[in-house]
């Protein structure tokens, strides 16, 4: 589990498809990230990379290696990563840690598209376009995880099969995360509040309308 409070950003060193002798390309993609000093991990630890929970397979020389499955590539924007790109990093929370953001699983539900960026000295107003299949789980003043960052939803507007939401980035969030690099049309990883999905499941199991 994670909190959506980014510990630091890292840099993509490489992202490559694996090859296996005699069998061509495998379904596993290898991601190598330069995490910097004092970011202690063990092999097998969980780290959220842009909000996607990945398992550390190697951690040598300030470099973290991860294997990404085809399912993760299909459901997230990790396949869009390029060499040198900045990524958000958060290690899994420990028992007794402060829950500064909200409960985040690291299981990305899908992605949205940046529809508007208004940069002001006191904060950035960001609009994100989502499919209604994700939008139905989002409420004003609720929590959402964007690229691994826990944010509060300010506005929700449904229109047909699309939902438009707005979030505000305070200057500290802009400085300490890769959200400083957002641009129009960019795909961003989205994880909705898991409580809403549990409620939907319980209600549907009882035969009640959603």
Quick: pLDDT tens for 48-65.
999 999 999 999 989 999
The predicted structure's pLDDT at residue 3: 94
Quick: pLDDT tens for 170-187.
999 999 999 999 999 999
Domains of the chain: 8-91 (2.40.30.20), 110-202 (2.40.30.20)
What does 138-193 look like in DSSP terms, one character per residue? --TT-EEEETTEEEEEEEEEEETTEEEEEEEE-HHHHHHSGGGG--TT-EEEEEE-
Share of the chain above pLDDT 90, in %: 78
Which of the four pLDDT bands, split at 50, 70 and 90, describes residue 21?
very low
Quick: pLDDT tens for 89-137.
999 998 888 888 899 999 999 999 999 999 999 999 999 999 999 999 9
* Consecutive H or E run containing 134: helix 132-135
The predicted structure's pLDDT at residue 204: 83
What pTM value is reported for the model? 0.90
Contact, 7 vs 88, CB < 8 A? no
- Of 27-36, 139-148, 193-202, the least confident: 193-202
Residue 161 pLDDT greater than 80, yes or no = yes
The predicted structure's pLDDT at residue 112: 96
């Amino acid at each position: 589990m994670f909190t959506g409070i980014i510990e630091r950003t890292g840099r993509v060193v490489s992202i490559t498809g694996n090859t296996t002798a005699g069998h061509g390309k495998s379904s596993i993609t290898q991601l190598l990230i330069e995490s910097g000093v004092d970011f202690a991990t063990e092999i097998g630890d969980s780290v959220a990379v842009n909000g996607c929970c990945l398992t550390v397979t190697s951690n040598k020389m300030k470099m973290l290696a991860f294997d990404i499955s085809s399912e993760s590539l299909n459901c997230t924007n990790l396949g869009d990563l390029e060499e040198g790109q900045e990524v958000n990093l958060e290690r899994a929370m420990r028992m007794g840690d402060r829950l500064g953001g909200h409960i985040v699983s690291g299981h990305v539900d899908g992605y949205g598209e940046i529809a508007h960026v208004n940069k002001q000295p006191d904060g950035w107003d960001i609009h994100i376009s989502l499919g209604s299949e994700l939008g139905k789980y989002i409420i004003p003043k609720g929590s959402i995880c964007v690229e691994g960052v826990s944010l509060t939803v300010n506005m929700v507007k449904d229109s047909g099969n699309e939902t438009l939401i707005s979030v505000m980035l305070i200057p500290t969030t802009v400085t300490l995360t890769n959200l400083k690099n957002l641009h129009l049309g960019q795909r961003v990883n989205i994880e909705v509040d898991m409580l809403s999905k549990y409620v939907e499941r319980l209600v549907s199991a009882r035969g009640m309308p959603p």
